[in-house]
Chain A
Amino acid sequence: MFYREAGDFKTSYKDDNQTFPIRLDRMGYYIVMFVAFCVVPFFVNDYWVNSVFAPFLIYAIAALGLNILTGYAGQVSLGTGGFMAVGAYAVYKLMVAFPDVSIVIHVLLAGGITAVVGVLFGLPSLRIKGFYLAVATLAAQFFLVWVFNKVPWFYNYSASGQINAPERSVFGVIVTGPNTEAWAKYMICLVFVVVLAWVARNLTRGMMGRKWMGIRDMDIAAEIIGVNPLMAKLTAFAVSSFFVGVAGALFFAVYLGAAEAGESFGIAKSFLILFMIIIGGLGSIFGSFAGAAFMVLLPVLLKNVLVGGLGWPTDLAAHLEFMVVGGLIVIFLILEPHGLAQLWRLTKEKLRLWPFPH
């Protein structure tokens, strides 16, 4: 009854262009932001950050990235894990080589390096389309992981083949390494997420986003009305890889602290992120968050209920998780190809008319 656009008049195109055109949505957004920045940091402990918040926020960045490529530009990629590895190893090399430079700059640079690698592997997208391209991106996945395993320079010749994040701080607060406090981990991830989500929103609502969606919906028509397909696809690969690279860098430096390419950034990671955007919603910023939250919470929930509550062995719970995830993917694709985001939109549309639906 209160969720209305009535009385909320738009008097300029600028007002009409805003992200949350309905007043209640805007308020909701401000409340979420307030809670995220001013409430949560005071209450989080290690368990919550490590099992829920940090993975959720970092995966949300990766999902945003993949959603730009797949959901907006229509190019399916199965190489997300490999690109995350690029971000992780890039930030590691930078951190070790330039210890005095801020970690924030390192993470952004790692994103930039990943963007370059992404463009390289995106080049074939001009010639090959659809699942041919999807399979081709697997080449990136396998090749990149292999490179990071086999070329000792990338892991600084460490005996274990692992990379370990040295201790770095931002404004005097330690954010990487084993001595990081829970709230600091949470905050650095949160800041990156909020800024990147804002960037993603800006890019997708402007001309860049329209070009991407044009390529997605009908590439030939898009080219004929003036979209340069190579540029549109490559920018999608670049921006997407930047996001994924930043996610990989944070995943290694802030969340894991130590990583090994095959284990942390294998093909399972690629699928995980793909599932996030399918379940969350292709072509939706909100969907990237919803999907990331869902895929992070589901295993935690299953584990707590089945293993903790019913006393099942962990491997059985893991098998059930596979079945549930796979089943959900199929169900979502059948019933609601636009994912949780679409369900949310439909609910809001119903709510706008409630209680008089006609």
Chain B
Amino acid sequence: MPEQLLFAIEVTLNGLMAGVLYALVALGFVLIFKASGIFNYAQGVMALFAALTLVGIQQGQVPFSHLINAIFGTHIHHFPWQVPSIIAIILAAGVMVFFAWLVEKYILQHLIGQPDIILFMATIGLAYFMEGFGDMMWGSEIKTLDVGLPQGLNVAIDETTYGWFGYGFFIDNLDLVATLVAIVLVTVLVIFSQYTKQGRALRAVADDHSAALSVGISLRFIWVLVWSIAGFVALVAGIMWGAKSGVQFSLSLIALKALPVLMLGGFTSIPGAIIGGLIIGVGEQLFEFAIGPMVGGATQNWFAYVLALVFLIFRPQGLFGEKIIERV
């Protein structure tokens, strides 16, 4: 096989795996949007916050230590212990659930019935608040996240492909793990929403708030539930991206990558989020590979958006979104 083609295949595979991670973040958006009609811009910051919290707990950081030091002139920073990864993950998930409860109680409750766009802007405010809060609580320096996931070149794939084509594919172990985790997570979520009582309630709420209320479904419970799930998805996404490139501000920008995924896949569709994620992951890698060098590179910054924009002009509801019918 010609070398260029092999390169392209390798790029595609890496794109697919990046796409899985985009899809993972997009999934969090879709869940909240389906259940509450809220387009949650803060999803990316939630992933950052979850990852920060995880690292903080794991390493026994004292929360708000910078603030305490600044006010009282002390020099505290760490507790004298480290927490095992698994316990830290559970605790971080707990924090995300608590956070979901807070959001429902102090924000969503008060915005019921507002236009969608107001809710959207409120989540932008929430994103800013959380960003400041996360940094204030755990500090803003770049942290390494290590919960024992395998990392680095997958030797088996490298050797096998070398044997086949005379060219070894570079596939990161972490990407493989992320793909597996994403598949498991999506399966669990689909089973949950299709086959459990809470899942049915969730879909009912998504369909019609007041109708769901009238048959005795608690809107508050559903909203806390779905924000908790979204928080958990954010935690998983945060772990994957954090392990890959460190826990820092840029992690919250994955939300910006997930937005075009949603536009492509439709805001209400779980399969849409996954397929949209894969298309964009592969598309931007291939575009950068083929066209990037000609125009100065770094096309990943905008490719996804422009692709989604062009796509939307022809199909405004996205790949799998429901058709919008207008009436007067």
Residues of chain A whose beta carbon lies under 8 Å from any beta carbon of chain B: 74, 76, 123-124, 127-132, 134-136, 138-139, 142-143, 145-146, 149-151, 220-221, 224, 267, 271, 274-275, 278, 310-313, 315-316, 318-330, 333-334, 337
Contacts and interface: CB of A to CB of B under 8 A. Distances in A.
Given A135-B263, A330-B107, A323 B126 contact: no
Contact of A146 (B66, B125, B302): B302
Given A130-B116, A323-B133, A150 B298 contact: yes
Interface stretch (B10-18, B193-201, B225-233, B304-312): B304-312
Interface string B118-154: 1011101111111111011000100000000000000
Contacts of A329: 121-122, 124-125, 128
Contact of B135 (A127, A136, A143, A322): A322
- Chain B, interface SS category: helix
B190 interface: no
Nearest first, the 5 A-B pairs at minimum CB distance are A322-B132, A329-B125, A326-B129, A326-B128, A139-B305
B299 interface: yes
B311 to A, nearest CB: 10
A271 B42 CA distance: 13
Most buried by A among B116, B121, B122, B136: B121
Interface residues of B, number: 50
Nearest to A82: B302
Contact of A150 (B122, B267, B297): B297
Interface stretch (B55-63, B82-90, B254-262): B254-262
Contacts of B132: 318-326
20 contacts: A74-B117, A76-B120, A123-B313, A124-B312, A127-B313, A139-B308, A142-B301, A145-B301, A146-B301, A220-B326, A310-B70, A310-B71, A313-B66, A315-B140, A319-B133, A323-B133, A325-B125, A326-B127, A333-B111, A337-B114
Nearest to A311: B70
A334 B298 contact: no
A136 B316 CA distance: 11
Contacts of B328: 220-221, 224
A130 B107 CA distance: 21
A325 B140 CA distance: 18
A142 B129 contact: no
A224 B263 CA distance: 29
A324 B136 CA distance: 12
B298 A146 contact: yes
A136 B125 contact: no
B120 A134 contact: yes
A298 to B, nearest CB: 12
A316 B136 contact: yes
A326 B305 contact: no
A138 B129 contact: no
A334 B305 contact: no
A135 B111 contact: no
